[in-house]
């Protein structure tokens, strides 16, 4: 009885793996073909290839394809676990970020003028979108979601407005061939600062909303975050630099 149960479990596991492989390959095939079509159309219309791929992603998602054809959409994208595609997407993102690090000529930042430009652009690209997003969120929240906290929703929308899609920007700059020019390096560096500060701001906004705007609880959380940053900057960072120098 135990042996037959084990055999049935083994067969079931193999069948599940085959189904997962089938649907993952099906999804990849559709995504790659549709992405290539979208990128070619975007380039033909004078846009970056990444823009066409993003539009195709929206079209293939639940916004359009899933809304118009829920049956085929569920068969292709909902018949198996999404873990395989999530892992592949994370690997693709890692490789894209690696390509950005390899392609861009960051030695341009040795010049003081370029570093100043990076700081000014990064500040402006954070402040202006955040203020705009906060104002939009503050006025539309009572209309769209009256039950939501108006200030918290406005802070979240302002933060979302101020975060840059760093990998997409890097891909577009590489496509335009300016990754080794000062303009491209300044743009990607400002976006990197924008991205880091934006995600830290999102963490602060989340903590503020979770604390129910309690100043004591929020202050304690921020203090702990400050301790973590200090340990990483003055403890972990010198240790990593020493290890890199020691290991060549």
The whole-number pLDDT of residue 135 equals 93
Q: What is the mean pLDDT of each run of 10 residues along the chain (248 residues)?
A: 55 73 90 93 90 91 89 86 86 87 85 91 91 92 85 88 85 87 90 87 82 75 85 92 86
Side-chain-side CA neighbours of residue 96 (13 Å): 18
pTM, two decimal places: 0.72
**Cα 245 from Cα 177, distance rounded (Å):** 33
**Cα 136 from Cα 157, distance rounded (Å):** 8
Structure tokens at 102: 């390899």
**Cα 202 from Cα 194, distance rounded (Å):** 12
Structure tokens at 57: 């992603």
Q: Would you call 159 exposed, middle or buried from its count of C-beta atoms within 10 A (0-12, 13-18, 19+)? A: buried
The whole-number pLDDT of residue 5 equals 58
Nearest to 100 by CA among 57, 50, 41: 50
Q: Give DSSP secondary structure letters for 107-159.
A: GGGGSHHHHHHHHHHHHHHHHHHHHHHHHHHHHHHHHH-TTS-HHHHHHHHHH
Structure tokens at 180: 């080794």
**Cα 103 from Cα 175, distance rounded (Å):** 11
The whole-number pLDDT of residue 238 equals 92
């Amino acid at each position: 009885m135990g042996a037959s149960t084990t055999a049935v479990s083994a067969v079931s596991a193999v069948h599940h793996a085959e189904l997962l492989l089938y649907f993952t390959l099906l999804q990849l095939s559709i995504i790659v073909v549709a992405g290539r079509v979208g990128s070619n159309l975007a380039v033909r219309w004078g846009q970056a290839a990444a823009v066409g791929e993003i539009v195709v992603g929206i079209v293939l998602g639940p916004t359009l394809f899933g809304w118009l054809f829920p049956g085929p959409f569920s068969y292709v994208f909902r018949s198996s676990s999404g873990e395989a595609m999530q892992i592949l997407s994370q690997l693709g993102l890692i490789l894209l970020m690696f390509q950005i690090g390899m392609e861009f000529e960051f030695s341009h930042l040795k010049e003081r003028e370029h570093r100043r430009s990076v700081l000014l652009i990064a500040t402006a690209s954070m402040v202006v979108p955040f203020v705009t997003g906060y104002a939009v969120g503050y006025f539309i929240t009572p209309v769209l979601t009256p039950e939501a906290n108006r200030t918290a929703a406005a802070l979240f929308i302002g933060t979302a407005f101020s975060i840059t899609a760093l990998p997409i920007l890097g891909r577009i700059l590489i496509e335009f061939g300016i990754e080794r020019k000062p303009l491209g390096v300044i743009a990607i560096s400002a976006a990197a600062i924008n991205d880091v500060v934006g995600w830290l701001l999102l963490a602060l906004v989340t903590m503020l909303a979770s604390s129910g705007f309690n100043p004591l609880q929020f202050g304690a959380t921020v203090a702990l975050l400050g301790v973590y940053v200090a340990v990483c900057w003055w403890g972990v960072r010198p240790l990593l630099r020493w290890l890199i120098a020691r290991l060549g």
